[in-house]
Amino acid sequence: MADFSVEVLLKTETMSVRDVVCAGKCRHQSAEECARSTHLVFPYRGVYVRHVGRQAAVAEANQVLFFNAGESYRVSHPVEGGDACLSVSIDEELLRELVPREQLRDGPELAFRRARRRIDPRAQALLALIRHGLSRKVAETLEAETLVLTLVRRSLGERTSQAAGASAGRQKLVDRAKLVLASDLARRWTLAEVAREVGVSPVYLTQVFREVEGVPLYRYQLRSRLARALHLLDDYDDLTALGLDLGFSSHSHFSAAFRQAYGRTPAEFQRQVNLR
């Protein structure tokens, strides 16, 4: 049985969208793969690590990853549970119009300078709308294409996200902290516990994490839980149970946090994408 499955949700003249689900059985680095085209990958469930040469990037729901055509990479799953991503490929000429020039490498080939970039809660909500709309076949083609372009533009625009840049050492520290949180998303971690897991002091961890990610550690955990909620809304009739399963103290806490991030309550979001 294959370790992953791919479902084509949208394929038009200008773009394609694929839902890629991986069981995550390979804990160590996989065999080398090569990207056939330059595309964007939006993780929406779980976590994995992509290795390009000596560089490693944690793929999780607060980031978009860039895969460059002809670039070799390996994948590992240090956290159990597998992952799921939406892979977006856009016509090269159109993509050049969308990507700010400073984000591309010099040269004739279309290639991103960075391996990843942070996205904001609105982009996460837009991603969920696209995925649910296409998978449930309630989004028309024109609507879906427009939403995909909006998602890409929002994810690349300086006004809505920040480049995930830092020194290699600090980025590795932050990535280790992300993996600790992802190993048990519902757990009510203490700062000392996370710091102990990554081998630094709590003060240093909080300072570096905020400098690299642009948000405090606790808010990153909240965003990760809410991103997970977006994925699970289709599986739960009892939203109180969903909130508690994700580590929220109560339904009101879950609902308030969800509304603050995405502009509507979980129940309203369910109704909007026809999940219930």
Average confidence score pLDDT of the chain: 91
Over 90: is that where the pLDDT of 161 sits? no
The single residue listed with the structure tokens 């992952």 is: 83
pLDDT band at 30 (very low <50, low <70, confident <90, very high): confident
DSSP string, 127-166: HHHHHHHHHTT-S-HHHHHHHHHHHHHHHH-TTT--B---
Tens-digit pLDDT profile for residues 69-109: 999 999 999 999 999 999 999 999 899 989 999 999 998 99
Sign of the CA dihedral running 116, 122, 126, 127: positive
CATH number of 4-156: 2.60.120.10
What pLDDT shows up at residue 275?
A: 66
pLDDT band at 1 (very low <50, low <70, confident <90, very high): very low
pLDDT band at 28 (very low <50, low <70, confident <90, very high): confident
> Rounded distance, CA 243 to CA 256, Å?
11
Alpha helices in 168-272 (DSSP H): 168-183, 191-198, 202-213, 217-232, 239-245, 251-262, 266-272
What pLDDT shows up at residue 159?
A: 38
Which residues sit opposite 117 in a β-bridge?
64, 163
The domains of the chain are located at 4-156, 170-272
- Count CB atoms within 10 A of the CB of residue 109: 12
| Strand ordering across the sheet containing 116-118 | 4-11, 15-22, 83-90, 39-46, 63-67, 116-118
CATH number of 170-272: 1.10.10.60
What's the pTM? 0.84
Tens-digit pLDDT profile for residues 185-229: 999 898 889 999 999 999 899 999 999 999 999 999 999 999 999
> Rounded distance, CA 257 to CA 272, Å?
18
Phi, psi dihedral angles at 90 (to 5 degrees): -125, 145
Residue 166 carries which side chain, given as an amino acid letter? A
Question: By the 8 A CB rule, do 118 and 45 touch?
Answer: no
Which residue in 42, 47, 223 sits closest to 131, CA to CA? 42
For the ranges 43-57, 133-147, 253-267, which has the lowest average pLDDT?
A: 133-147
